[in-house]
Structure 1
Amino acid sequence: MSGTRTLVIALAAGSLWSFAAPAQETTTYTLEKTDDGYVRMNNKTGEMSICQEKAGQLICKLAAEERTAYEEDIADLKTRVTKLEETVAGMGKIPPVVRDALPSDEEFEKGLSYMEKFMRRFMGIAKEFDNDNSGTKPEQPTPQKT
Structure 2
Amino acid sequence: MKPVRSGASEFATAFFLTGLIVVATLPVPQASAQQPDKVPPKDGGPMSENYVLERRGDTFVRIDKATGQMTVCTVRTGQLTCRVSVEERQYFLDEIARTEERIKSLEERVATLEAEKVVRNQSTDSPKPEAGLPDSADQHSDGANPQEDAAKPRTAEEEKLERDFDRAMDYMSRAMRRFFDVVKEFKNDTAGEKS
TM-score normalised according to structure 1 size: 0.40
Greater relative contact order (Cα 8 A, min sep 6): structure 1 or 2? 2
State the TM-score, normalized to the length of structure 2. Answer: 0.31
